[in-house]
C-alpha cells in the first residue's frame, strides 16, 4: 500500500492506543484524512466500522474478531500500523518475535549494529517497538541502506502480508492465550514472520525449541541458527563456557553482562542476527555483548541491603519467565509471585519452585495463592507467607522482615499486573522505589 492511495479512501483508525496515536500524527502530517473509531465493547464496534474502505486496527483488537471480519467481508481492507510500516519502509527490517526475550534481543541487536556501523561510518540503525521509538516517528528519515530493529508481538503478526528481511524467532510458548483462543492460532501468528520471506532474506531460528526449529520448513530464507545446547552452523552457539559464531570464538560466557544462563539464548540469537546483517566485526560484537546489562524490569538488580540482593523481574508475566529467572540464582530465594489472571497453567512453575532454591513464597494478587498452593502440592517444602498485602510498600516490608544475609529477594510474578498495579512497569517501579528507600 502506498501513502497516496490512502488520500482518496475513507480511512478509519480503530482504537487509538499508543501505536495508532503515532500513526494518526503521521497521517495528519502527510495529508491523509481519517476518522477515529472507539468503542466500549466489541458488540458495538461492527456498526461503527460500516462504510470505511480501509481500517487500521490497534494490536489489541483481534484480527479474527467478528467486527473486523464483518468489515472485511463487506469489502473493507484491514490493515495496521505494522502492516503499513512494512509497506512504506525503505530500510531493511530486522523483526524479532518469540514468547520472551524480544526486548532484550532487539536491544542487543541494535547495540551490536550501532557499534559496528558507527565504527564503519556506514548506515544507521534504529530501534523500534515496545522498547524503542515508534517507527512512524522516524519513517521519513530512513534510507535504503539503514536497518530498523523491530520487536513484533503475535498481535502485530496476525495479518502481516510482508516479512522482515531478517526474521528472528525466539522460543515460542503459551503466552497471550487470553487473546489467542487456542495455542495453534498463537503459533500461526508467530509463523507469519517468516511466511513471506524470499531467498534473499534470512531467518534466525532457535534450534533448541522444537516449535521454532520447525519454521525452517516454512520459509524460503537462508537459515541462521542459535543454540545453547549444541553446535549449529551457520549460527551462534554455546560450547563449554565459550560463545561461538560458526568456528570463531567470540568470548567467554562469564564475560556476558546479562544475568542468567537463559539469557545466552538471547545473546546467541542477537549475534546470529548481526551475522545475517553482514556484521563480521568480532570486536564490535564482543564490546556490545559485554557492556549490555539488560533492560528495566528484566532481572534488574536493584540493591544490596545488608547482604540481601533485590532483583526486579516485573516483566515476568508468564510462568515460563519466572521459571527462567529461578535458574539464575544459586542463593536462597524469597519469591514474590502473583498478579491478575491470564488463564495460565502453573504446574511447571510449581515444579520449578519445588526444585529450586526458593525458601519462601510471598503470594500477591489473585494468582499468588494459586501459585503457592500448586507449588505445595508439587512438593515445595519451604514457607509461604500468609499475609495479605494492599500495596507494594507492604510487600517489600514483608520481604525485608524475613530476608537474611545471603538471600535473594526476587520479584518475578509469573502473572499480569492489573489489580494492585497499572501495568508491569508500575509494579516494577514501585518495587524499586521501596527497596531503594530501605537501602538508604
DSSP 225-290: EEESSS--SSEEEEETTEEEETTEEEEEGGG-SSSSTTHHHHHHHHHHHHHHTT---HHHHHHHHH
Answer whether residue 138 shows pLDDT above 50: yes
Question: Per the omega criterion (within 30 degrees of 0), is the bond before 186 cis?
Answer: no
Condensed to tens digits (0 to 9), the pLDDT of residues 139-168 reads: 999 999 999 999 998 888 888 899 999 999
Grid cell 543454540 is found at 227
For 112-163, the three-class secondary structure string (H helix, E strand, C coil) is HHHHHHHHHCCCCEEEECCCCECHHHCHHHCCCCCEEEEECCHHHHCCCCCC
Tell me whether residue 6 is exposed, middle or buried, using C-beta atoms within 10 angstroms of its C-beta: 0 to 12, 13 to 18, 19 or more: buried
Q: What is the mean pLDDT of residues 279-308?
A: 94
**Spatial separation of the C-alpha atoms in residues 256 and 371, rounded to whole Å:** 32
Distance, in Å, from the CA atom of 131 to the CA atom of 315, rounded to the nearest integer, reads 12
pLDDT at residue 268 tops 60: yes
pTM of this prediction?
0.86
Cα–Cα–Cα angle for 409, 410, 416, nearest 5°? 145
Is residue 414 pLDDT above 80, yes or no? yes
Q: How confident is the prediction for the chain on average, in pLDDT?
A: 92
Find the angle CA(213)-CA(217)-CA(221) to the nearest 5 degrees.
95
pLDDT of 176 higher than 60 = no
Find the mean pLDDT for residues 121-137. Answer: 89
C-alpha cell at 346: 502453573
**Residue 208 burial (CB count, 10 A):** 18
Length of the chain: 440
Answer whether 204's CB lies under 8 Å from 240's CB.
no
Task: Tell me the C-alpha distance between 200 and 108, whole Å.
Answer: 24
Res 128: pLDDT: 96
Sorted by sequence, the CB contacts under 8 Å of residue 409 that are 6+ apart come out as 308, 309, 310, 311, 333, 334, 336, 399, 400, 403, 435
Confidence of residue 55 (pLDDT cuts 50, 70, 90): very high
Q: What CA dihedral angle connects 169, 170, 174 and 178, to 10 degrees? A: -60
Location of C-alpha cell 560484537: 285
* Ordered structural domains, the chain, with CATH: 9-81 (3.40.50.720), 89-291 (3.40.1190.10), 300-439 (3.90.190.20)
Q: Which strand (E) or helix (H) includes residue 397?
A: helix 392-402
Amino acid at each position: 500500500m502506498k501513502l497516496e492511495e490512502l488520500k482518496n479512501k475513507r480511512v478509519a483508525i480503530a482504537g487509538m492506543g499508543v501505536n495508532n496515536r503515532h500513526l494518526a500524527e503521521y497521517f495528519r502530517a502527510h495529508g491523509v484524512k481519517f476518522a477515529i473509531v472507539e468503542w466500549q465493547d466489541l458488540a458495538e464496534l461492527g456498526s461503527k466500522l460500516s462504510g470505511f474502505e480501509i481500517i487500521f486496527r490497534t494490536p489489541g483488537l483481534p484480527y479474527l474478531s467478528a467486527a473486523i471480519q464483518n468489515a472485511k467481508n463487506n469489502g473493507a481492507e484491514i490493515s495496521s500500523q505494522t502492516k503499513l510500516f512494512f509497506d512504506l519502509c525503505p530500510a531493511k527490517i530486522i523483526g524479532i518475535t518469540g514468547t520472551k526475550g524480544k526486548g532484550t534481543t532487539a536491544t542487543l541487536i541494535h547495540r551490536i549494529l550501532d557499534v559496528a556501523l558507527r565504527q564503519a561510518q556506514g548506515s544507521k540503525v534504529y530501534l523500534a517497538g515496545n522498547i524503542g521509538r515508534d517507527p512512524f516517528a522516524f519513517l521519513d528519515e530512513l534510507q535504503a541502506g539503514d536497518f530498523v530493529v523491530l520487536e513484533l508481538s503475535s498481535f502485530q503478526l496476525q495479518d502481516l502480508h510482508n516479512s522482515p528481511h531478517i526474521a528472528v524467532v525466539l522460543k515460542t510458548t503459551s503466552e497471550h492465550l487470553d487473546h489467542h483462543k487456542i495455542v495453534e492460532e498463537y503459533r500461526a501468528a508467530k509463523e507469519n514472520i517468516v511466511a513471506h520471506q524470499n531467498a534473499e532474506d534470512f531467518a534466525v531460528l532457535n534450534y533448541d525449541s522444537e516449535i521454532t526449529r520447525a519454521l525452517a520448513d516454512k520459509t524460503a530464507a537462508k537459515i541462521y541458527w542459535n543454540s545453547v545446547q549444541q553446535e549449529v552452523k551457520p549460527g551462534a552457539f554455546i560450547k563449554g563456557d565459550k560463545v561461538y559464531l560458526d568456528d570463531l570464538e567470540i568470548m567467554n560466557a562469564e564475560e556476558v553482562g546479562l544475568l542468567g544462563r537463559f539469557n545466552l539464548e538471547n545473546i546467541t540469537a542477537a549475534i546470529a542476527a548481526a551475522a545475517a546483517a553482514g556484521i563480521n566485526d568480532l570486536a564490535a560484537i564482543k564490546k556490545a555483548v559485554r557492556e549490555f546489562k539488560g533492560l528495566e524490569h528484566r532481572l534488574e538488580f536493584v540493591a544490596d541491603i545488608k547482604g540481601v540482593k533485590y532483583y526486579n523481574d516485573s516483566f515476568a508475566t508468564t510462568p515460563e519467565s519466572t521459571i527462567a529467572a529461578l535458574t539464575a540464582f544459586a542463593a536462597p530465594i524469597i519469591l514474590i509471585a502473583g498478579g491478575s489472571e491470564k488463564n495460565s497453567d502453573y504446574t511447571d512453575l510449581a515444579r520449578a519452585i519445588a526444585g529450586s532454591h526458593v525458601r519462601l513464597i510471598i503470594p500477591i494478587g489473585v494468582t499468588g495463592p494459586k501459585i503457592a498452593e500448586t507449588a505445595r502440592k508439587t512438593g515445595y517444602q519451604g514457607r509461604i507467607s500468609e499475609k495479605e498485602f494492599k500495596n507494594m510498600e507492604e510487600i517489600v516490608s514483608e520481604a525485608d522482615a524475613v530476608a537474611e544475609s545471603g538471600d535473594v529477594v526476587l520479584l518475578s510474578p509469573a502473572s499480569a499486573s492489573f489489580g494492585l498495579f497499572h501495568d508491569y512497569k508500575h509494579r516494577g517501579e514501585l518495587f524499586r522505589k521501596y527497596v531503594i528507600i530501605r537501602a538508604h
